[in-house]
């Protein structure tokens, strides 16, 4: 008990010495990098874009290419791990069909999403975080965790920047 009464005040003293008050004046912040253009993002209060992106994701999960394509512009850009696509919706639909033909029982578990708009109202994006799992043609289950930044313009998806994390294979 004596040790505890000596340790607790010591810990409190150490934490008090190392804590700093928050910086309330943005002019005092010195970031290690300078950006040329600040978009000054705000949370988008309109749920419209998030609904477009989440409905497209649901159509992908269900393999519903007819429903899937109605959420996309006629041409789009996709940046993903080791892949860049810039082309028509018809070309993208063929790519999607190859993916859905090689997998079954696809499930998507969405963990979160956030819709943002810049102050000048010229760009709107929705970020999603989710895990996608499926069964391959050999009957093995697999999954990947994704974070996607999706640009929506005129109620259509025009760009996807996809970041993925492959789960490690289990030890045998």
Look at residue 64 in the predicted model and tell me its pLDDT: 85
Tell me the pLDDT of the chain averaged across its residues.
87
Close Cβ partners of 25 (under 8 Å, ≥ 6 residues apart): none
The percentage of the chain sitting over the pLDDT mark of 70, rounded to a whole number, equals: 87
Residue 11 has pLDDT above 70, yes or no: no
Look at residue 158 in the predicted model and tell me its pLDDT: 98
Condensed to tens digits (0 to 9), the pLDDT of residues 51-82 reads 999 999 999 898 888 888 899 999 999 999 88
Number of domains in the chain: 1
Residue 88 domain flag: yes
Residue 69 domain flag: yes
Q: Give the Cα separation of 32 and 60 in Å (integer).
A: 40
Beta strands 156-166; 72-80: pairing state:
parallel
Would the pTM count as exceeding 0.85?
no
**Structural domain boundaries enclosing 100:** 41-166
Residue 32 domain flag: no
Residue 56 domain flag: yes
């Amino acid at each position: 008990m004596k040790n505890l009464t000596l340790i607790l005040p010591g810990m409190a003293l150490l934490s008090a010495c190392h804590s700093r008050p928050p910086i309330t004046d943005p002019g005092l912040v010195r970031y290690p990098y300078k950006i040329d253009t600040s978009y000054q993002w705000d949370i988008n209060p309109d749920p419209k874009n998030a609904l477009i992106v989440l409905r497209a994701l649901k159509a992908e999960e269900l393999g519903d290419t007819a429903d899937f394509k109605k959420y996309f512009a006629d041409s789009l850009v996709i940046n993903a791990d080791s892949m860049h696509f810039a082309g028509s919706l018809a070309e993208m639909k063929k790519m999607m069909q190859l993916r859905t033909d090689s997998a079954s029982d696809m499930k998507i578990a969405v963990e979160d999403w956030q819709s943002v708009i810049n102050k000048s109202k010229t760009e709107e994006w929705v970020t999603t975080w989710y895990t996608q799992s499926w069964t391959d043609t050999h009957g093995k289950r697999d999954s990947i965790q994704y974070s996607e930044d999706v640009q929506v313009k005129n109620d259509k998806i025009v760009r996807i920047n996809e970041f993925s994390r492959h789960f490690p294979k289990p030890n045998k």
